[in-house]
Chain A
Amino acid sequence: MTKSIAVIGAGHNGLIAATLLAQQGFKVAVYEASASIGGGAQTHEFAPGFKTSSIAHLLFHWDSKLESQLALQQNGLRLSAPLPSVALSTEGSAIVYDHHQLLAGDYSEVEAVHYREAMLRFNSLAQWLARENKKIPARLGWDRWRDALPALGMMIRMRLLGRDLMRDLLRLGTMAIHDVLNEELTDNRLKGALALDAVLGSHCGSRSGNSFFSWLHRLSGLSQGGYLQVLGGMGALTGALISAAQSHGVSIHTNARVLKINTRGERVSGLTLESGQEIYSDAILSAMSAPHALLNLLGAHALSVEQSHQLRHLRQRGNVAKVHIAIKGQVQFHGVSSAHQSARMLIAPSSEAVDNAFNPVKYQQCANDLVMELHVPSVLDDTLAPAGHQVVSAIVPFIPFDCADPNQLRHEVTEKTLAVIEKYMPQIRGHVVASECLLPIEMESRFNIPKGHWHHTELAIDQALMLRPIPRLAQYRGPVNGLWLCGASMHPGGGIHGRSAQLAVDTILQDLRA
C-alpha cells in the first residue's frame, strides 16, 4: 500500500522534500499556511512594474546535484554565473572579491597575498564543514555503540585536515570574526565586508563569540559555487520547485494552516487544519521550525520535560529587515566599474562599524549607521523592472524584532537605509520612485518565519551539527513515531539549499524501509 506523507510548510525545504518523497512513490500532500507558496523564496511586486525577491535574494549554498535530481532546469530554473562581492567605499575605489581572492580595487599587493593565503586555510575548514553538512549528524548517547561511529567519523575527518588546520578549526571555531580578521588583514574596507558576511542572518556582532563559525557556514556554502542570482527572482526558483513537485503528483494546499499534529498512542495520526479539517496521514514531515512544530503543533504533553525545556530556550531572535527600492533610470555605485554593478555590494566601512551597528539591537533599538548587503538584480534580469529602470534589494541587519510601532520603525529603517546608500550612490534620492521595508516582525507575520530568523534558530556552535535543534532530535526523527523534521532549524541550518530536506528524506526512507 502506498504510504501517505503530509508535509507541513511549502517553503523550499517542504517542496524539495515533497518531491524527493514523491519520486520514491509516496503519496505526498503539502500544507501551507499562507496564500502564496515559497516561504523565504518568493518574488513579489512592491511597486507597479517593480518586482523583487521577497526575502533571500541570492543563492550561496546551491547544490547542482539537487538541481538535476529535481530536473529544475527542465522546470524553468535559470541561474546567473557566480557573482563576486564588492566592499563599497566612500573614498577611493571599492574592493571586488570572491571567496578565494581579491579581484579588483586599490588594495595593497601585500593585502591580496594575505587574503589569498588566509582564504586557502578558511576554505579548507569550510570544506570540512560542507562535508559535515551533507551528513546526518551524530547522535549523542551512550546506550547504542553504533551511535559512536558518526561522531568518530566526524572527528577523523577533522583530524585528516592535518595538524595545522585542525588546530585552526578548534581555535577559531568559537572566536569572534573581528579577532580572526585582525590576525590576517589590515584593510578596513575588506575587514568590514567580511565581518558583515559573517554576521548576516545571525544575532551577533563582529565582536561576538561564535561569529567566525557563522562565517564558516557561509563559506561552506560558497565552496559549492559562489553567489548565484535566480533569474525572475527567488519566486522563479519556487516556481520550478512547484512544477517539479506537481510533475511527481505532489498536491499543494495553500491557506491551509496546520493547528495540530495529532497522535494516536505512540504515533502520529494526522493533522488538524485551521479550517477544522482533519487530515489523516501515515507520516508527517514538518518543514516548520522545530520549536514551533513540537511545542505548538505537537504539544508539550508529547515531549519529554527535557525536550520542551531545551526547545523553548533555543535562541531565535531575527534581526534582518529587507528594504526594496524602485529606481527610475540608471544609477551606479560609486567606485565600482560598470562590469561589477551586478555584484553583491556590502556596506560596512570596518569591522568595528558592524559591531557598532549590532550593539543597539540588543536593546531593541536601531543604529544610526546601518550596515547592509545590497543587490541590484535588474542589472542581469530585465523582468524585474520596466525597461531602463532598476530595483535595489537591501538586506539590512540589526533591526529589532520587537517594536511598539511598526509604522514608525519601518519609516526609520527606510530613511536610515537610504541615507546610508546615498553615501555610495550619491544620485539615488532623485531617482527613488517607490520603496518598501519589510521588518523582521513581518518575516514572521507575512512569511511565517518564526521570530523572523533566517535560520529559524540561531546558527551558533552550541546549536549546530549534532546539537541542532537539540541533541536528541538532531537526526530528523521527531519525538513521536511517524513524525520527521526538516527546515532551517535542523542541521545544517538555513539558506536556500534544501539540505535538511534531503537528509530528512534519507532518514524517512531508512526508517520506513527498515
Chain B
Amino acid sequence: MSGIEPATLSKEHHRQVALKTPFHPRTSELNELNLWHRWRDYTVSDAYFSTALEYTALRNSTAVFDASPLTKHLITGPDALLFLNRLMTRDVAKVRPKRVAYSVWCDEDGQVIDDGTLFHISDGVYRLCSQERQANWLHRAAFGFDVAISEETHQVAALAVQGPTSATVLIKAGFDVSALKPFELNEFTFEAHKIQISRTGFTGDLGYEVFCPNPVALKLWDQLFSAGESYGIKPMGTHALEIARLEAGFVQAGVDFLPADHAIRAGRSRSPFELDLGRLVDFDKPFFNGRAALKAQADCGYPRQLLRLKVKGNKIAKDAYLYNERREHIGSVTSATWSPMLKQSIALASVNRELWSRSEHVIAEIYYQKELQWSRVNVSCEVIDGPFFDPPRRKQTPPARV
C-alpha cells in the first residue's frame, strides 16, 4: 500500500498556497470574472463569465466543469471487493465491471463519513471518488485485507461534461459514448493514454465524467472545446453547479451533513437513513461498518430526516429555521437556491422526525435583506419526494443526438 505519491508536485509545492489543476491554463484564460475559490488543495473557478449563462449552457447545450480536485483513490488487489464491501453500506458485489455506484460509508455508529462514486474500471480495479480526504480511513480499513490503495488525486484530472448536447460533443470529439447507460463507464485510448468516460454527474442532467492522466489533460480540453464549439459548449463554475445539484436533490458532505469523523458533539452527524439514502443500505450483504447501528435504526427509527422543500414566494431560504404547524422548531435548511427550471425557491433541510410528520406543512422563517435592511418572512413549504428536476434525457439510452 502506498500513500499519496506527489509525482506531479514539485519539491517547492509547500510554498504554493493553492495548487493549479491541469486545466488551469485554459480555465484561467476563460475566467473573465476572475472569481476563484479554494477546493481542497486547488484553485477553482466560482464562475467564468456569468453564473446564469453557465447554468443555461448546462441545461440547454453543454457545460464543462473542472472536477480535478475531487479526491480520487485507486483500489486494487485480490481482496478489493471484500474490502469495499466491508467499507460501504451497499452491496459492492452487485457493481459489475464498467459500472459506477454512488455509495456512502459509515463509522461503527452508522454515521456517514462521506459519500462518493465508486468506478469499477475493470475486474477488481476500482476508483473511489469522494468529497473529503479518505486516505487515512481507507488505509485503516485495509487492515486484514489484501488490497492496495493509492491516492491519485494529483495524477488524474477530471472533467464533468454535462448537458443535453454532451453526448454529441463527446462523440464529435472521438469518444463513442452512445451505448453508455446511466452509471456505466468505458475506457478509451487518447494520445496513447487510457482515459475513462462514465455516464455520471452531479447535475441531474444527461452528462458524462471524463478521467484522464494529467499529461493529456489540456489536449483533451482542447479537443472537447473544438468539437463542442457549434454545440454551445461553455465552461461552468461551482456556483452554477450548486444550482444544478440542488435541483437534482443531491446532498453534499460538509454542507448538508457533517462527515462523522468531523463531528465532536453527539447528534451532529447523520446516518444514511437520515439523508434519505436508505436505498444504499443493504442488510442482505456480508458485514459492513456500522451495520448493527443501522439495523437498529431501520428497525426502531432514526431521529432526523432530510427534506426536499419547495419554498413558497421568491425568497431563497438560506439557513432558514423550520417550524411545524404548532410553531415548534423542527430543524433548519442546509442548502437553498432559486431553481431556474422550476421558477421556484427550493431547499434541502434536516428536521427532527419526532416533531414533524409527513402530513404536516413545514414553515420556513426566512431572513432577507433589502438595501441593508433586514426583514423576516414566514412561508409554507411543500415537501417533495425525489429530485426537483429530473428530465427524461438523463436516463434515455442511446442519448439524444443533435
Contact = CB atoms under 8 A, between A and B. Distances in A.
Is chain B a partner of chain A in the same complex?
yes
Given A142-B266, A472-B108, A304 B144 contact: no
Given A142-B266, A309-B143, A472-B108, A302 B87 contact: no
B287 A301 contact: yes
Contact of A304 (B145, B266, B289): B289
B252 to A, nearest CB: 23
B86 interface: yes
A300 B287 contact: no
Contacts of B286: 301
Nearest to A311: B143
A305 B289 CA distance: 7
Interface string B175-198: 000000000000000000000000
B145 A300 contact: yes
Nearest to B105: A305
B11 interface: no
B144 A305 contact: no
A502 interface: no
Contacts of A300: 86, 143-145
B107 interface: yes
A307 interface: yes
Contacts of B82: 301
A305 B87 CA distance: 8
Given A142-B266, A472-B108, A301 B86 contact: yes
Nearest to A301: B86
B237 interface: no
Nearest to B295: A266
Interface in B111-158: 137, 140-141, 143-145
A302 B287 contact: yes
Nearest to A481: B292
B137 A305 contact: yes
Contacts of A301: 82, 86, 144-145, 286-287
B290 interface: yes
Interface centre among A295, A301, A306, A480, by most chain B C-beta atoms within 10 angstroms, is A301
Most central of B141, B145, B266 by chain A CB within 10 Å = B141
Contact of A308 (B137, B143, B293): B143
Interface string A472-506: 10000000100000000000000000000000000
B108 A304 contact: yes
Contacts of B287: 266, 301-302, 480
A299 interface: yes
Contacts of A295: 144
Contacts of B137: 305
A44 interface: no
B144 A308 contact: yes
A328 to B, nearest CB: 53
Contacts of A305: 86-87, 107-108, 137, 140-141, 289
Nearest to B283: A266
B369 to A, nearest CB: 39
A121 interface: no
A312 interface: yes
Contacts of A480: 287
B266 A309 contact: no
A301 B293 CA distance: 17
B143 A306 contact: no
B7 to A, nearest CB: 28
Nearest to A307: B108
B144 to A, nearest CB: 3
Contacts of A309: 140, 143
Most chain A CB within 10 A, of B86, B137, B145, is at: B86
Interface string A310-323: 00100000000000
A298 to B, nearest CB: 10
Nearest to A480: B287
A480 to B, nearest CB: 8
Contacts of B87: 305
Given A301-B82, A301-B287, A306 B107 contact: yes
A306 B141 CA distance: 8
A301 B141 CA distance: 9
A361 to B, nearest CB: 27
Contacts of B140: 305, 309
A153 B204 CA distance: 55
A23 B288 CA distance: 37
A11 B212 CA distance: 59
Nearest to B109: A143
A509 B197 CA distance: 57
Contact of A299 (B108, B144, B266, B290): B144
Contacts of B144: 295, 299-301, 303, 308
Contacts of A302: 287
The 10 closest A-B pairs by CB, nearest first: A300-B144, A304-B108, A305-B141, A306-B108, A142-B266, A304-B289, A309-B140, A308-B143, A305-B289, A302-B287
24 contacts: A142-B266, A295-B144, A300-B143, A300-B145, A301-B82, A301-B144, A301-B286, A302-B287, A303-B144, A304-B108, A304-B290, A305-B87, A305-B108, A305-B137, A305-B141, A305-B289, A306-B107, A306-B108, A307-B108, A308-B143, A308-B144, A309-B140, A309-B143, A312-B143
Interface of A: 142-143, 266, 295, 299-309, 312, 472, 480
Interface of B: 82, 86-87, 107-109, 137, 140-141, 143-145, 266, 286-287, 289-290, 293
Given A300-B86, A300-B145, A305-B141, 6 more contacts: A301-B82, A301-B86, A304-B107, A305-B137, A305-B289, A480-B287
